[in-house]
Chains A and B, each alone.
Chain A
Amino acid sequence: MNDRPPSPPSAASAPARARPAAPPSFNTHAVWAIYNFEMARTRRTIMQSVISPVLTTALYFIVFGSAIGSRIDEIDGVSYGAFLVPGLIMLTLLTQSVANASFGIYFPRFTGTIYELLSAPISPWEALLGYVGAAATKAILIGLIILATAGFFVPLSIAHPLLMLFFLVLTAVTFSLLGFIIGVWAKNFEQLQLVPLLVITPLVFLGGSFYSIDMLPPFWRAVSLFNPVVYLVSGFRWSFYESSDVGVWASLAMILVFLGIGLFTVWRIFKTGYGLRE
């Protein structure tokens, strides 16, 4: 640092230097720094981030939309191909949110670089905002890419665009929170993938992403109502086609409940310092 600007306060004069003012009670720069750092990973892996969902969506539409869908009747007056769109977006949104957020916080724990986060003048909530914000942003972007891709295969109509975006954002944030919790809880990479694999994927597939739960026998239909993803997919689909398995208000209420549970769990984690600070 020979080339630092002059005016080095010498050791002798250091005590005379004014005590720096206490930093503000919200560390905005830190939240942005985490957000940008996490988003840089998205930019670095832009090919996987964009091409993969586009390809997957195209495959789904070719197989389910065109090949199989042509033999399936309309559901609630919506062609099967169009019916698929909200479910497909939800499927990717949930998996991406959980994967991004859990990896984002687990990797620093794994490498040990979390020391810096713990030694920084930053509250856990600010860190959460940075990590969950970035994870949700990426998931939302991918959701929108899928939506755009779907537009090439089926005629799209979105009855309530604002509500659609509201569902998109709220779901991404809620499941990024879940991902964050998993990333803090996981002790190894296996555990990191366990929850998405054993919980998220089955719930999404059984949650009416690719069918209306009205098609199920009454017993399984009743069971499905315990699947939280049903409410997410149903509400999201309603914002497109005004047809849904459960009432749209029930869907909205449920997603807010999930968000509340997520926030409460995180609050508990931060309160006990579980898994992060000695």
Chain B
Amino acid sequence: MNQQDPRLPTHDPAAPRAVVDPIIRIDNLVKTYADGFTALQGVSLDIERGEILALLGPNGAGKTTMIGVICGLISPSAGRATVDGYDVVAEYRAARAQIGLVPQELTTDAFETVWDTVTLSRGLFGLPPDPAHIERVLRALSLWDKRKNMLMTLSGGMKRRVMIAKALSHEPRILFLDEPTAGVDVELRKGMWAVVRDLREQGVTVILTTHYIEEAEEIADRVAVIQKGRILVVDDKATLMRRLGRKTLTVHLLEPVSALPDSLAQDGVSLSEDGTRIAYAYEAGSTEDGDDVDRMLRAMLDAGMRLRDVQTDQSSLEEIFVDLVKEPGA
């Protein structure tokens, strides 16, 4: 575990702040499979109403298992999860009725039509037929023209959209998207995110896993990082990036210097080999109230340096993520 990492919060990482009336509450969930593999080692997580939560983690971290337990595909070994207060095991009808699930695997029937399979989904979730709603869903996902096509005749991207249509057919208040954009072209991916944003507008809570971290960065309100069956960190995306992100100030000099003056000698400051660039790495969060950059530049000017150019870089969520989940000592 990376609990020694000083940048990580010292309090319970699963509850960075109290979520009042969460739509999903996961409480110390454990799942050990029949072969002895423990996929979830006591996961606790509150999911807020109406948020888009990105669940990040390497392969095998437990993302799909966690979703499976909440949606009823997998029985938990210990702990519990509630959806809007309803226990996912004891009160599965009330819990599942609110959830739309788009699993990772691309699985569709073969000989049925798009219309029939989406209609089936609505019925399965206990709602009376509503052709007008199905039409709206199919149109929004650009599937209306394909409604009479057999599923086996559709492309992979279309099948993916059919699975989303099935999940939306019963007007869920919560939508799980497990790797929805894996193997999906750029155009379609953008279309999917537009749909997700629309859903959020309507108050639907969206939980998504993705390998494209820049997507999480773009769309999520909060980010949870899961590794080896444990939640490492969960926080607002902006807070997370500010707290865990690094910034680098690079100053290009007009005239090279042979060594850093004493006034600049401190942790995080380095001089390039040719003496033309000074780099200063600092925590992204410190710019809000700190004067690091100001102090640094003044010190350079005071030391008689002449500046050619100044540039700053911020680490991406991807770099933060890679940094978080990397094996100790790796």
A interface residues with partner B (beta carbon < 8 Å): 1-4, 8-15, 17, 19-20, 22-25, 27, 29-30, 32-34, 36-37, 40-41, 44, 107-108, 111-113, 115-122, 273, 277-278
By a CB distance below 8 angstroms, the chain A residues around B277 are none
A24: shortest Cβ distance to chain B, in Å? 8
Q: Quick check: A11 and B124 within 8 Å, CB to CB?
A: no
Q: Quick check: A1 and B101 within 8 Å, CB to CB?
A: no
Output the nearest chain A residue to B74 by Cβ-Cβ distance: A278
Contact residues, B74-99 vs A (CB, 8 A): 74-75, 84-86, 91-99
B139: shortest Cβ distance to chain A, in Å? 7
Q: Quick check: B124 and A30 within 8 Å, CB to CB?
A: yes
Sorted nearest first, the 7 A-B pairs with minimum C-beta distance are A33-B123, A11-B50, A112-B107, A8-B202, A9-B203, A14-B203, A120-B124
Set A8, A15, A22, A277: member contacting B74, Cβ < 8 A: A277
Output the nearest chain B residue to A117 by Cβ-Cβ distance: B124
Q: Quick check: A29 and B123 within 8 Å, CB to CB?
A: yes
Q: Quick check: A22 and B86 within 8 Å, CB to CB?
A: yes
Q: Is B140 positioned at the interface, with any CB of A under 8 Å from its CB?
A: yes
Output the nearest chain B residue to A38 by Cβ-Cβ distance: B120
Q: Is B308 positioned at the interface, with any CB of A under 8 Å from its CB?
A: no
By a CB distance below 8 angstroms, the chain A residues around B98 are 20
Known contacts being A120-B125, A277-B74, is A9 close to B202, with CB within 8 Å?
yes
By a CB distance below 8 angstroms, the chain B residues around A277 are 72-75
By a CB distance below 8 angstroms, the chain B residues around A15 are 21, 49-50
Question: In the assembly, what is the distance between CA of A33 and CA of B200, in Å?
Answer: 28
Q: Quick check: A37 and B120 within 8 Å, CB to CB?
A: yes
Output the nearest chain A residue to B128 by Cβ-Cβ distance: A29
Question: In the assembly, what is the distance between CA of A278 and CA of B75, in Å?
Answer: 6
Question: In the assembly, what is the distance between CA of A278 and CA of B117, in Å?
Answer: 24
Q: Quick check: B73 and A118 within 8 Å, CB to CB?
A: yes
Q: Quick check: A37 and B72 within 8 Å, CB to CB?
A: no
Q: Which of A8, A40, A41, A116 has the most CB of B within 10 A?
A: A116
**What is the size, in residues, of chain B's interface with A at 8 Å between Cβ atoms?**
58
Report the number of A-B residue pairs with Cβ-Cβ less than 8 Å.
145
A8: shortest Cβ distance to chain B, in Å? 4
Question: In the assembly, what is the distance between CA of A29 and CA of B136, in Å?
Answer: 21
Question: In the assembly, what is the distance between CA of A33 and CA of B50, in Å?
Answer: 30
Question: In the assembly, what is the distance between CA of A263 and CA of B123, in Å?
Answer: 25
Q: Quick check: B203 and A10 within 8 Å, CB to CB?
A: yes
Known contacts being A13-B203, A113-B107, A121-B92, is A278 close to B126, with CB within 8 Å?
no
Output the nearest chain A residue to B202 by Cβ-Cβ distance: A8
Q: Quick check: A112 and B105 within 8 Å, CB to CB?
A: yes
Q: Looking at the complex, which of B108-116, B179-187, B288-296 is the stretch in contact with chain A?
A: B108-116
Known contacts being A9-B202, A10-B203, A11-B50, is A118 close to B85, with CB within 8 Å?
no
Q: Indicate with 1 or 0, residue by residue over B255-293, a CB within 8 angstroms of chain A CB atoms.
A: 000000000000000000000000000000000000000
Known contacts being A14-B203, A113-B108, A119-B101, is A30 close to B136, with CB within 8 Å?
no
Q: Is B313 positioned at the interface, with any CB of A under 8 Å from its CB?
A: no
Output the nearest chain B residue to A120 by Cβ-Cβ distance: B124
Q: Quick check: A33 and B122 within 8 Å, CB to CB?
A: yes
By a CB distance below 8 angstroms, the chain A residues around B26 are none
Question: In the assembly, what is the distance between CA of A9 and CA of B99, in Å?
Answer: 17
Question: In the assembly, what is the distance between CA of A118 and CA of B200, in Å?
Answer: 26
By a CB distance below 8 angstroms, the chain B residues around A10 are 50, 201, 203
